[in-house]
Structure 1
Amino acid sequence: MGPVLLDFPFMGRWTVQNSPANRVPSHGTHLLGTTYAIDFVAVDGRGRSAPPSWRAVLGAEAPEGFTGFGVPVLAPVAGSVAAVHDGEPDHEARRSPLALAGYALTQRERVRRGPAGIAGNHVVLATGSGAALVYVLLAHLRRGSVAVAVGDAVVPGEILGECGNSGNSTEPHVHVQVCNSMDWERARGLPLAFRHPETGSPWLPRNTEVFSVR
């Protein structure tokens, strides 16, 4: 089976981190079905996720100051809502090496909490049927923004929630992955691709690539 083809789950200007076009596994692990996961960070016209500040150099920053925080996250495919989780806090963002080093020390606790600790607020869509049934996870949503419930039918472009900084996230971004199961301890990550915003052909952007979706 080829890559699962998705629409981009947002509008606006974005860049890419942890792309499977650069390496597999994209996040350095196969755990929790993240083999082909990809992260998208909203940026401004200068390619910045947030304006420069002294806090960016020395410590943590409020997530509200980032371009992506609160941007609508859209369904990238038609399907049904298989799982939702909300209520996790949007913690401070971290861009400085010092702040990132401190954040790394709390990684074990987030892993111990399982999907809620890693994915934060999230929505899982089930799409396809039979042997072609797959699950699309959209993670790190803003607390209180989830706009769908389990069992809802959704169409591409429907609002699922908003970009946030919950779970295992150092700055507001949208994490997307496709899996064969919601048994996260055993789930196998599946290849994905996106419709190019201009040509509509399957495309997988690489790390640091900047593009716009209208």
Structure 2
Amino acid sequence: MLTVDLAYPFEGRWLTQNSPANRVPSHGTTLLATAYSIDFVPVDEAGRSAPITWESLLRPEPPERFPGFGRPILAPVQGTVVRVHDTAPDHEAFRGLPSVGYAITQRRRLAAGWVELAGNHVMIETREGPVVAVCHLQRGSVRVQRGQSVRVGESLGRCGNSGNSTEPHLHLQAMDRSDVSHASAGPLTFGGRLPRNGEIIDGG
């Protein structure tokens, strides 16, 4: 599958994580076409997602505590919406000790399938054929529907903490079809390049 070149689907400052520029498979697995997927965490001007406190190290946190929760998410590519999910809850965020307990339940979420992992999401099929998935959106925020044509920069929804997510962030992946269980992953770039882990992207 050819590389899919995307526009950054957000404004403001976002921290790059789990980038295929650092390793492939980027998330440690090739399951569900995630080999070249990438994550972006919304951060403030200081590059932080939310201040670390003793409370955040000891117990789960409400997603509303994070500055990026609810930030607008935009279409990264032109195409047709082929799948939409918008009913998964935004659960608490897990940092510090709570993240250990959350990691233990990873196998259960994987066994439950794509929706349990992606949470609320939009899939866009490009004119060239590849499908781009935009995941972990805020419940009730999706503004597009299946069959709708979208242009680059058009509103899709808002950043949430649904699915397999320890804090509000955005997950993107490209694949050769919308049936994720049988899809093959494809590489992606943003304006012809791929940011590395730790790089902060300023979407304007």
**Do residues 37 (structure 1) and 27 (structure 2) align?**
no
2-side partners of 1:79 and 1:183: how far apart?
Answer: 17
2-side partners of 1:159 and 1:53: how far apart?
Answer: 33
Specify the alignment match of 1:182 in structure 2. 178
**Do residues 11 (structure 1) and 1 (structure 2) align?**
no
**Do residues 156 (structure 1) and 146 (structure 2) align?**
no
State the AA in 2 paired with 1:26: S
Detail structure 1 runs of 4+ shifted over 3 Å in the superposition. Answer: none
2:134 to 138, 157, 177: 138
Deviation at 1:39, TM superposition (A): 0.1
State the AA in 1 paired with 2:44: D
Say which SS state the counterpart of residue 40 (structure 2) adopts: strand
TM-score (norm 1): 0.93
**Do residues 126 (structure 1) and 125 (structure 2) align?**
yes
Q: Is the 8 A contact 2:14 2:201 kept in 1?
A: yes
State the AA in 2 paired with 1:81: V
State the AA in 1 paired with 2:184: R
1:210 to 195, 200, 204: 200
State the AA in 1 paired with 2:84: V
Counting only pairs closer than 5 Å after superposition, residues 58-97 of structure 1 correspond to structure 2 as 58-96=58-96
State the AA in 1 paired with 2:42: A
Q: Is the 8 A contact 2:2 2:186 kept in 1?
A: no
Deviation at 1:54, TM superposition (A): 2.2
Say which SS state the counterpart of residue 180 (structure 2) adopts: coil
State the AA in 2 paired with 1:122: H
Specify the alignment match of 2:190 in structure 1. 194
Deviation at 1:179, TM superposition (A): 0.2
Aligned residues: 204
Specify the alignment match of 1:198 in structure 2. none
Specify the alignment match of 1:112 in structure 2. 111
Deviation at 1:2, TM superposition (A): 4.3
Specify the alignment match of 1:199 in structure 2. none
**Percent of matched pairs sharing the same residue:** 55
52-61 vs 32-41, which moves further: 52-61
2-side partners of 1:174 and 1:210: how far apart?
Answer: 14
State the AA in 1 paired with 2:4: V
Q: Is the 8 A contact 2:13 2:200 kept in 1?
A: yes
2-side partners of 1:55 and 1:188: how far apart?
Answer: 41
2-side partners of 1:46 and 1:74: how far apart?
Answer: 23
1-side partners of 2:144 and 2:134: how far apart?
Answer: 13
TM-score (norm 2): 0.97
2-side partners of 1:183 and 1:212: how far apart?
Answer: 32
2-side partners of 1:44 and 1:111: how far apart?
Answer: 31
State the AA in 2 paired with 1:82: V
Q: CA RMSD in A?
A: 1.0
Encode CA deviations 1:11-39: one digit per residue, 9 max, x unaligned: 00011110000000000111101010000
46-55 vs 148-157, which moves further: 46-55
